[in-house]
Amino acid sequence: MNKENEKELTRNEYTDYIYEKICLEEPLNVQTFEDVINGINQAVKIENTPVFLEGLSARLTQLGTACNSGDTEIMLDEVKRRYKSILKKICPRTVLEWIRGTTPGITNRQNNYELCYALEMDYKQTAVFFQKNYLTLPFIVKSKTDAVFMYCLYHKKPYSSVAELLEKSKDFVSTGNESVLTSEIAYFIFNTDNDDEFLRYLSEHCYDNEQQFQNARRIIKDEIKILKESISYESINSDRLNSMTIDKLLGYRYQSREKCENTVKLPKLFTRSLPNDVTLGRIINGNSVSYEVLRKTLILLRFYNYYSMAENNDIKQNHEPSKYEINSRLMDFFDELNQTLISCGFAQLYMRHPFDCLILFCANSYDPIYTLHTLNEQN
């Protein structure tokens, strides 16, 4: 992808506040579930913050329609008007429901891109809006739809060009050539401003879900091998081995579904699309899983292996890490994980995403893996 997407997302005062609360406070020494309640409450508060409506209202205000995240009718009227005047179509019911308070979906990504077009966003603004307000990745360019929107946004083409290119490319089929890097496709898009050349290239570089994020899939498989070294599995069948791997990542109580009696619930954006033994098997076998499952699986594996190694080194040296060492490890983990996510074409860590927030909350403890397992007792 282009280098501008590799920069860390800018933080405002509220994001800085969350970062300081989660990453820079005194490390946790978790003994019971009550020790993680504050972190869960912070993540729930983040999830209940209408980040999509904040972004939408801020953009509409920039465009001359003053409103805030609670001005539903004003936003509905203006978005409907913009769809008709800019996109020459009626605003989909799905988008109207987003404005009424439903969390934006990320499966039919054309809806997400079209709203950005209706809001007259450019390529950079769209990329940021996806990460900060949709809480997902922009421009998965091995997808036909994403490639068309990236091409048109980057080269400042009108929505009529988007509609035309989507129609012409709808019957393109997967090429099966997995060796082409995402960065190569992005480079071509950035350097080609000719619709016919773009369509010709796109027809030769169409990919289904299984062919996307090949680097991430390779890294995940490598991380799984590292984790499985800690499991004695000579007499265990492969299905059970996947279950034991999930147990290691999320805690034994997660897999057996034993419920904690506490009333505090984990955010849906944390629990949604967590890996299980089935999806782990699908990743290993090269089958289709969602982007969100891939990203969360990669983060959890990196988290477990990083802190498992640190813990083993401490045990060998009979060493109790200080709060300064814990913070230093957290910062190293944060930086290394971000670089891995970027190399995979994944969204960077973002403190206003409940999953990212809680992973870093667990990292800021004397026993990060145990803290994550304790937290997952409530799932």
Query: Which of 181-188's residues contact partners 24+ apart within 8 Å by CB, and which partners?
Result: 181/215, 182/1, 182/141, 182/142, 182/215, 182/345, 183/1, 185/141, 185/142, 185/147, 186/1, 186/2, 186/139, 186/141, 186/150
Q: What is the pLDDT along the chain (379 residues), one digit of tens a residue?
A: 444 444 455 555 555 656 676 777 788 899 888 889 989 998 999 889 999 999 999 999 999 999 999 999 999 999 999 999 999 999 999 999 999 999 898 778 999 999 999 999 999 999 999 988 998 888 988 889 999 999 999 999 999 999 999 999 998 887 766 667 778 889 999 999 999 999 999 998 887 766 678 888 999 999 998 998 877 654 455 567 788 889 889 985 544 444 555 567 899 989 989 999 899 999 988 888 888 999 999 999 999 999 999 999 988 888 889 989 999 999 999 999 999 998 887 888 888 899 999 999 999 999 999 999 998 876 6
Three-state DSSP class for residue 365: strand
Residue 32: what pLDDT? 85
pLDDT tens across 45-57, in order?
A: 988 999 999 999 9
Q: Which residue's structure tokens are 């869960």?
A: 40
Q: What is the dihedral of CA 271, 47, 299, 31, to 10 degrees?
A: -70
> Considering only CA atoms, which of 372, 357, 376, 366 is closest in space to residue 22?
357
Q: What is the rounded CA–CA span in Å between residue 336 and residue 236?
A: 33
